[in-house]
Structure 1
Amino acid sequence: MTKIEQYIIDKIKTLRKEHCLTQLELSQKLDMSDSFISHVEAPSKRAKYNINHLNRIAEIFNCSPKDFWPDKPL
């Protein structure tokens, strides 16, 4: 996993917890498999967010997709 992938995963995980959503609930809001978020958040799994996921997650959290990215390159 790259530094940028981990950064984005961690950022979304923090938002998920701030909004009191479980991995299952966020997976369901994305219309993905029940285990999707748990696979993305698990370092041993290969699942990652794509651009469409990031856009949909931004809609769910009422923010911009760019809010998931660092201010400077990693």
Structure 2
Amino acid sequence: MTKIEQHIIEKIKQMRKERDLSQLELSQKLDMNDSFISHVEAPSKRAKYNINHLNKIAEIFDCSPKDFWPEKFLPE
């Protein structure tokens, strides 16, 4: 997993918890498999967000997709 992927996953996880959404609930709101978010958040799994997921999560969270990104680039 790259640093940017890890940053975005952790940011969405934090925002999900602030909204009291379970992994299951967010998976269902995305119309994905019930275990999708748990797979994305598990470092041992290969599942990742794509740009369409980020756009839909921004809609669900009522924010901008850019809110998931770091302020500056992350060196590898």
Q: Under TM normalisation by the shorter chain, which class is it?
A: over 0.9
Q: Which residue number corresponds to residue 34 of structure 1?
A: 34
Distance across 1 between alignment mates of 2:72 and 2:65: 15
> RCO higher in 1 or 2 (8 Å CA, sep ≥ 6)?
2
Identity %: 84
Q: Which residue number corresponds to residue 25 of structure 1?
A: 25
User: If the length of structure 1 is used for normalisation, what is the TM-score?
Assistant: 1.00
Gapped runs of 5+ residues in structure 2? Answer: none
Provide, for residues 25-59 of structure 1, a one-character-per-residue CA deviation record: whole Å limited to 9, x for no partner: 00000000000000000000000000000000000
RMSD: 0.2
Runs of 4+ deviating beyond 6 Å? none
Task: Report SS of the residue matched to 2:62.
Answer: coil
Q: Which residue number corresponds to residue 60 of structure 2?
A: 60
User: If the length of structure 2 is used for normalisation, what is the TM-score?
Assistant: 0.97
Gapped runs of 5+ residues in structure 1? Answer: none
- Alignment: residue pair count: 74
Distance across 2 between alignment mates of 1:7 and 1:36: 18
Q: Which residue number corresponds to residue 11 of structure 1?
A: 11
